[in-house]
Structure 1
């Protein structure tokens, strides 16, 4: 495994005005992304999605996203329904073996697998040369979901932040990505179900879920003019109806009611503003004038919800 030049990391951190721990983690996450993108399988192909793809591949948001998310498509004439549980488990083990052979440390006892191996999550440790940041988890989390995207894939070049700031492309890897329109639809649905089912006292509470609000604001201009967005949101809302172990009351809500109630909670719960400001303050590398404030993000989300409701309500 290639370790980065510590001074190069510090220079980029100074240029962006962020903690060097973020730049270091991006370096290692990029190597993991390159390894996964380069792994060939006759039936299964990973497709880059989520916040990290929005920042590193599409260049649409200016914040750090420490997870790597992939949705799986099939190749070679197979359909996703033909990929059996043993095939999914075999693919998971191939990814683990490949990464371990390249020097990555994966504690196999900590691998999470759910829904008959249609989802699995790998915690990957990496060697740090700089002090850790409290804003970052100590490992790189890599998630795979056997759920093909609905929209056409987009091929994008991706480089490390070190190369991006330097204007170099030595780390370039070409990656198949989910369309940002579909990512935005997934984020709007995810924001709704996470807000509606959230319990701040739970052991697994995730304050960083407010990232979806930030990212939707950054994507709002792009998606609000694309007619495909509405249909894609409707599909996402349907798939997420049972997510987060909702109560009977929440399960009974229509899509329109779910969106309206989520926006109402975001607007009236002052803690969301505080969580948003902490999150953006820790992860954004946008210039001060470009940073998305909570009020702006909330207004953008409200506009997107109105756009959707005009079509589905």
Structure 2
């Protein structure tokens, strides 16, 4: 199982002792090293399969690289590592899978599903090769979890920590891949380990990867938080409970509002299209959202401000992962989130 090097461990402890990590716990910096290594491998992944119609085994060609499969870095970890906009540890690795037409035709009857399946079949060996074996959940939960004709894939993987457990940090890596076409232009970004960035050190390892824009991420985060809490608060979530870390969207959108306000016009322009997409994708989960999504989202925004649940989750799950000398209060973050959300909803 993968473990950070002795030199990396020493560097983390020395920098933390000197106050150069801005309060970032060493456990968090350690996990970021593993996340960076996984992203580096994903950025170079080439998917080979045998679904092309002109593959000829007689020429010793059994598989071929599918150049139309692209992996795009997205989500909060992208905001943190690639865009440098948020001062919190983002644990999950969110990847958007973009499929473009293949140069050669596929075999008859084969399409996106087999291409996505081929991609997903590459992931376990990639994780194992890095020393991150997929987890076996004791509750019988499938890992990886695959649904929607292979459009959605999520896997949890192990790593070995050299430190004691940190309560707010999950002791696993979570990789999520979803096939979805970005609406705004992508941005090529290069970044390294978080601890080196915070300490102003030269990067010893870098990742170059296409990223979802700040604008599109902002629009997605506003919609995700409001739609998912509406699902719970309107009484439709019968199984399980809502992800308590969703409150991260409040903080992230507030940071975008503070440091990248010029991106919000583009975010506003695509928000109605994202709402329509969610209305189609999650049809049947919340009948009122199906018929009048904007009213549901507005009502949920009002409830979120006063019912106390997000405040509790903000204090418990978000603040411990924020590395900033001036950590914003929930009231400060939510005021900015509310301003952005109301503006987006007015565009619908």
What TM-score results when the alignment is normalised by the length of structure 2?
Answer: 0.81
**For 2:322, which of 284, 291, 304 is the aligned residue?**
284
Equivalence for 1:17: 23
**SS in structure 2 of the partner of residue 116 of structure 1:** coil
Contiguous gaps of at least 5 residues in structure 1 = none
Structure 2 match to 1:265: 303
Question: 2:23·2:324 contact (CA, 8 Å) conserved in 1?
Answer: no
Q: Which residue of 2 aligns with 1:103?
A: 131
Q: Who is 1:3 aligned against?
A: 4
Deviation at residue 276 of structure 1 after TM alignment: 1.2
Larger Rg: 2
Structure 1 CA distance, aligned partners of 2:263 and 2:228?
A: 26
The 10-residue stretch of structure 1 (139-148 or 262-271) with the greater mean CA deviation from structure 2: 262-271
Residues 220-255 of structure 1: per-residue CA shift (max 9 Å, x gap): 242466432222111221222254963323433232
> Equivalent residue of 2:88, what SS?
coil
Identify the range of structure 1 (198-207 vs 46-55) with the bigger mean alpha-carbon deviation.
198-207
User: Aligned residue for 2:210?
Assistant: 176
Match for residue 188 of structure 1 among 222, 225, 231:
222
Rounded to whole Å, the distance in 2 between the matches of 1:223 and 1:259 is 22
SS of the aligned residue for 1:308 comes to helix
- SS of the residue corresponding to residue 162 of structure 1 reads helix
**Does the aligned pair in 1 maintain the 2:226–2:297 contact within 8 Å?**
yes
Note the aligned Cα RMSD (angstroms).
2.4
Summarize the alignment of residues 18-167 of structure 1 with structure 2, pairs less than 5 Å apart: 18-41=24-47, 42-75=67-100, 83-107=111-135, 110-166=143-199, 167=201
**More helix by proportion, 1 or 2?**
1
Q: TM-score scaled by structure 1?
A: 0.89
The number of equivalent residue pairs is 307
Matches of 1:144 and 1:136, distance apart in 2: 21
